[in-house]
Amino acid sequence: MITVQNLEAFYGDFQALFGIDFSMREGESVAIIGANGAGKSTFLKSICGQIKVGPQAISFAGRPIGGVHPSDIVAMGIAMVPEGRRLFPSLSVEENLLVGRMSKRSGAWNLQRVYELFPALVEKRKNPALTLSGGQQQMVAIGRALMSNPKLLICDEISLGLAPVVVKDIYAALPKITGDGTAALIVEQDIDMAKRMTDRLYCFMHGKVALAGKSAELSKKQISDAYFGI
Ligand code: ATP
């Protein structure tokens, strides 16, 4: 579904990514882990068109998408749940979810399916989005992204700042999302979660892939050595 080859990314003269190779298939869940400044967010921004990269460096569904405008990327079927969620404060939960329909992509996701995925949102649907707990706001952000019927759902720092019990609820939704072929790419700080809940993982370090493999087959030591650069 998505192939990244020899991706380099820059902020002015500063090079943040060096020759990243990466791929994902339909319905796969993949985690990216790595210390602060490793390049995880830059990688996601490169895919979503928020940073200019070489046109051929990223191909999605067989088309080169490097440097394509973010709104065109959403229309092609890539949706991002940004770090910090960025919900619209003046809108209700349901209105936030409906913003996801603006891409007008057809598919199985609608309000009813999002409420089935996250039942906690049903009774809060008319409430201002920012009055919800952090975990429920994350559910709204994921639901809003799903409403655009993505082929690839990208979640930056999915569990950052959330209580473990809420993180469990959010990860419980993952198989229901990937079950119909949507791929999920997740930036995760918690190595245990990344290992347990995803099919494959990549560990970034200093803008390069330090380790990649099937999550179940990599040992915790291999992962933490790559994470800390040992
Ligand atoms: P974190 O977990 O702290 O968000 P990260 O792995 O997502 O880290 P990035 O945010 O991608 O890392 O940063 C990669 C490198 O690019 C870092 O050295 C960072 O300082 C630098 N960087 C990130 N954003 C910018 C920017 N807007 N301008 C200049 N340099 C930046």
1-31: pLDDT as tens digits: 999 999 999 999 999 999 999 999 999 999 9
Asked whether 40 lines ligand 1 (CB < 6 A), one says yes
CA–centroid distance, residue 84 to ligand 1 (Å) = 15
Question: Domains, the chain, ranges and CATH?
Answer: 2-228 (3.40.50.300)
Could you tell which of 8, 14, 53 is best to mutate to test the pocket of ligand 1, judged by most ligand atoms within 8 Å of the CB? 14
Asked whether 14 lines ligand 1 (CB < 6 A), one says yes
Asked whether 16 lines ligand 1 (CB < 6 A), one says yes
* Candidate from 116-120, 139-143, 160-164 with smallest mean pLDDT: 160-164
Asked whether 39 lines ligand 1 (CB < 6 A), one says yes
How far is it, in rounded angstroms, from Cα 217 to Cα 230? 19
| pLDDT tens for each residue of 165-200 | 888 888 999 999 999 899 999 999 888 888 989 999
Nearest to 78 by CA among 102, 53, 47, 50: 47
CA–centroid distance, residue 227 to ligand 1 (Å) = 16
